Amino acid sequence: MINMTINDDVQPQPSNNPRVNVEYCGACDYSGYCLALGQIVRKSTPDAVVFCKRGRQGSFEVVVNDKLVYSKLQTMALPDFNEVAQVVNNVSKGEEPTLIKGQQPINCIIS
């Protein structure tokens, strides 16, 4: 049983629990990368909520609290997971999400 009090006079308090939404390419088998990112984020910010969702081909789009902070579709590389974790941790302390600049090496050779 859950006890709940409803009071119309109480305004909802802003939550410092960051929400991280990752759209990943299922055809590229990026689900493992999404899970790895989620583990790194949760290690530094246990209250963060990370959602992994299969999406567009070639995608690995990272959105923190409704702000796009990294796009693989634009950069052609995966983000630096530690930098993502740092941004999420900063958001948990009340800061605004910032763009991720670091990326992992591109493992694509065009011949």
Mean pLDDT by 10 residues, the chain (111 residues): 34 68 96 97 97 97 98 96 98 97 76 58
How far is residue 97's CA from residue 95's CA, in Å, rounded to a whole number?
A: 7
Would you say 50 and 56 are in contact if contact means Cβ atoms under 8 Å apart?
no
Residue 105: per-residue pLDDT: 80
- This prediction has a pTM of 0.82
Angle at 32 between CA 55 and CA 35, to 5 degrees: 90
For the chain, the residue count is 111
Residue 49: per-residue pLDDT: 97
Would you say 35 and 52 are in contact if contact means Cβ atoms under 8 Å apart?
yes
Could you tell me which residues come within 8 angstroms of residue 103 by beta carbon, excluding any fewer than 6 positions away? 75, 77, 78, 79, 80
